[in-house]
Amino acid sequence: MKYKLETIPVWDAIEQQEEPCLFCFLSAETEKRKVSFYLGNSVMNPETRVKVNSMGFCPDHYAMLAEAGKPHGVSLMAHTRLQETAKLLQNSLEEQNKAHSPRGVKKSADRINAVMDAREQGCLICESMERSLNRYLYTYIHLWHTDESFRETVSASRGICLYHYPKLLRMAPEVLSRRDLQEFCTAFSSLMQQWLKTTIDDVDWQTQRYKAEHAGKDWRGCEDAHKRAVYREIGKGRLKDS
Ligand SMILES: [Zn+2]
Ligand SMILES: [Zn+2]
C-alpha cells in the first residue's frame, strides 16, 4: 500500500456534504491544524526551528501565522529566520552600495529577487497539506473500489471541485488495476458531468430568480448558488503554491 488509509476522516467529510467538495473541506481542516501547530509550543522544539529556518512558509501561510494573534512563537521563528535572510542578502546589499549605474541597480534588484524567490520556495504547511491530501485521495478511491455503501454515498454527494478532480484522476492508477481503472473513469466521467450540471442549473435558477417575472418565487436553496459555481471551479483550501 502506497499511502496510509484515512477511512474515518474521509467518511466523516463525505457525510457532512460540504460544498464544494470533501477534499476542499479536508484540506482546510489540515491547514487549520498545521497553522495552530506552528503557533503553539512546538516551535520551541529545536528540530522544528531548524525546519522552519530552512524551509519556512510560503508568503500566504507566513502572513496567516503573523496575523493569527499569537505573537510569541511567531516572534521566535521570525527572529531566527530574518537573521538568516539578512545574512543571505549581505553580499547583494554591499554590492549595491558600489553599483549605482542604471544597469548596476537593476542587477542588484535581480540578485535580491533571486535570494527572496529561493527563500519563498517550499512551505512546511503546504507540504503537510499535500501529504494529507494524497492520503485522502488514495483512501477515497480505495473506499470507492471496495465499499458498496461508500460508492452509493459518492453518487449522492455534492461532488468534487475542478481543482481537486485532476488530482483524484492522477491518483487513480496508483490505487486501481487497469481493469478497475476503466470502471472508475467511466463512473467518474458521468458523475462529474452530473455535478457540473447540478451546479450550473442551480446558478441558472439564481439568475432567473432575480428577474421581475420570478419575484417572490421559491429560491429552491439557490441563494448561494453563485458561490457554489465559483468554488466548483477553483476549490477551497488550495495549496497556496498551485
Ligand atoms: Zn476541492
Ligand atoms: Zn504554504
The Cβ of residue 103 has, within 10 Å, a number of other Cβ atoms equal to: 8
Across the range 20-37, mean pLDDT stands at 93
* Alpha carbon of 72 to ligand 2 centroid (Å): 20
* pLDDT digits 0-9 by tens, 191-212: 999 999 999 999 999 999 999 9
* Alpha carbon of 27 to ligand 2 centroid (Å): 12
pLDDT exceeds 80 at position 19: no
* pLDDT digits 0-9 by tens, 99-153: 778 888 898 899 999 999 998 889 999 999 999 999 999 999 999 999 999 999 9
* Alpha carbon of 115 to ligand 1 centroid (Å): 33
* Alpha carbon of 242 to ligand 1 centroid (Å): 13
Q: Where are the alpha helices (DSSP H) in 40-158?
A: 46-54, 59-66, 71-98, 102-120, 124-146, 148-156
Rounded to whole angstroms, the Cα distance separating 152 from 42 reads: 41
Across the range 88-92, mean pLDDT stands at 92
Across the range 39-48, mean pLDDT stands at 84
